[in-house]
Amino acid sequence: MSVHTIKYSIYFIFIVQFFTGAALAGSDSEKIQTILASDKAPSGVVFEIAMADPDALRWAIPRIKQYAVSLRKKFPNLELAVVTHGREQFALQKGVSAKYRKVQKQVEQLSKSDDIPVHVCQTFAAWNDVEPEDFPEYITVSATGPQQVNDYLSLGYTLIKIRGQ
């Protein structure tokens, strides 16, 4: 092995470890723990879900519910919101309620009982021939998911990206 090969191998290992560590440090659960460790509540928290997996809400919504309970236990008046703008948003359509009955009930509870607005992306829906009226009334159909996230960020909300099981 040449000196250059060893040198580049060490750099590669360093870069992989650095970015892997950075990704883990930024996980949604760690960000929630950071908020909970603070004495001051953020202006609000927006949970962003954007995945290619149409079944992602089956695990993401219960995770968000758990986070919401923990956050509001410490900060009872904390404003929360959910923006879903990947393939998973289609589990919230009226026409698939039999397949996704449980997740739809959970989202309805978040929206109605827990006062957590849940947004889907109209632009992505339209690209997939899904109309705003295809979603139940407890879902807010936003023009675009990314812009809805940015709107919350402009209000001072903290972003929690929900990624992976």
pLDDT of residue 70 exceeding 90: yes
The model's pTM is 0.83
Q: Specify the pLDDT at position 26.
A: 63
Return the closest-CA partner of residue 47 out of 56, 39, 55, 38.
56
* Tens-place pLDDT, residues 101-152: 999 999 999 999 999 999 999 999 999 999 999 999 999 999 999 999 999 9
Query: Which of 18-22, 80-84, 129-133, 134-138 shows the lowest per-residue confidence on average (mean pLDDT)?
Result: 18-22
User: CB neighbours (10 Å) of residue 44?
Assistant: 16
pLDDT score for 8 = 39
Domain 26-161 has CATH 3.40.1260.10: yes
Full strand arrangement of the beta sheet holding 80-84: 140-142, 118-121, 80-84, 45-49, 158-161
From residue 77, alpha-carbon distances to 108, 113, 114 in Å are: 20, 14, 11
